[in-house]
Amino acid sequence: MKELFFYDPMCSVGNDFLGKRSSSTPGELLAEMDFYGIDKALVQYNNLAGAGAVYANKWIADFISSDTSDRLRGVWCLLPEQCGELPDDLFSAMSEKKICALTLDPFDHRWVAGKYSIGKIMAEAAERKIPVLMNYYNRKWEELYRFVETFPDNRLFIHDTTRHGTDRLVRPLLEYFPNVYYMLTAYWVPEGIRDLAVLYGADRLLYASCFPTYNHGSMMFALKNSGLDMASIAKIAGVNMQNLLEESWGK
C-alpha cells in the first residue's frame, strides 16, 4: 500500500520562453509524476508570460482534454473583465473543461489587478471557493500584500522560490488571512515546515513541486523529515489539496 498520497498544485507544461521543452503531453507529465510517486496535479502553461493568457488557456484546455488518466486538472489565467477575452460564463467553461484553479500575471500582461479589473470574477471565485495561484507574484511581496488585502475572501495560494528564507514575509499573511495557503515549493527546511504547521495548522500548507524548475521529489525529503506526525504530513502531501478541490468542484 502506498505510504502517502501526493497532489501537486504547481506543475507547468509546454515549452518555456527560451524554447526549453517541458512535458508536452499528459503521458510525458504522468511518467515524471509516476517516477516520484505523485498521484494528481494541477497544470498550467509554462510560457504564460510570452504566449499570453488566451493562447495558454486554450493550450491547457486541449492538454487536459487529452488526458485519459483523470489525474490532471488545469489552471487558467485571468484577464480584466472588461476586455472580453475570457468565456462569458467562465466558471461553467472551467467545469466543462476540468479547469479547477485560476492564476494571473498582470505584470507581463500589462494590467492592474484589483477590484475594478477582476472584482466580479474574484467575488464569484470566493463564493465558489476556487483556488487562485499567486505564483506570478513570486518575489513581488508588496504587490502580493496589496492583493491579499484587496481579496481577503478568496483562497489564495502563495509561494516563494528564493531559497533564502521567507518566514518574515509569509508568516504575517498566514496569521492575519485565514484564506491564504502556502505552497512549500523551495521551502527545503524540515524544521521550518514543522514550525509553520504548529503555528498556523498543517491544513494551511501544501506540498508543491514547481515543476519543471524543480523536480517532483525535491520537496518530498524535507516534508517527510519535518518531524511532523504522519497525519499532518499526509495532509500537506495531498489530502489538503484534494479536500480544497472537493469543496469547490466536488472532485
| Tens of each residue's pLDDT in the chain, 251 residues | 578 999 999 999 987 655 555 678 999 999 999 999 999 999 999 999 989 999 999 999 999 999 999 999 999 999 999 999 999 999 999 999 999 999 999 999 999 999 999 999 999 999 999 999 999 998 899 999 999 999 999 999 999 876 666 899 999 999 999 999 999 998 988 899 999 999 999 999 999 999 998 999 989 999 999 999 999 999 999 999 999 999 998 86
The gap from C-alpha 181 to its chain's centroid, in whole angstroms, comes to 10
How many Å apart are CA 186 and CA 141, to the nearest integer?
A: 16
How many Å apart are CA 163 and CA 212, to the nearest integer?
A: 16
- CA-derived radius of gyration, the chain: 17
Residue spans of beta strands (DSSP E) within the chain:
7-13, 40-45, 72-77, 99-103, 132-133, 156-158, 180-183, 205-206
SS (H, E, C) 92-134: HHHHHCCEEEEECCCCCCCCCCCHHHHHHHHHHHHHHCCCEEC
Find out if CATH 3.20.20.140 is the number for domain 7-249.
Answer: yes
What single DSSP character describes residue 76? E
Q: Does residue 194 contact residue 202 with C-beta atoms inside 8 Å?
A: no
pTM: 0.95
Q: Which residue is associated with the grid cell 466558471?
A: 91
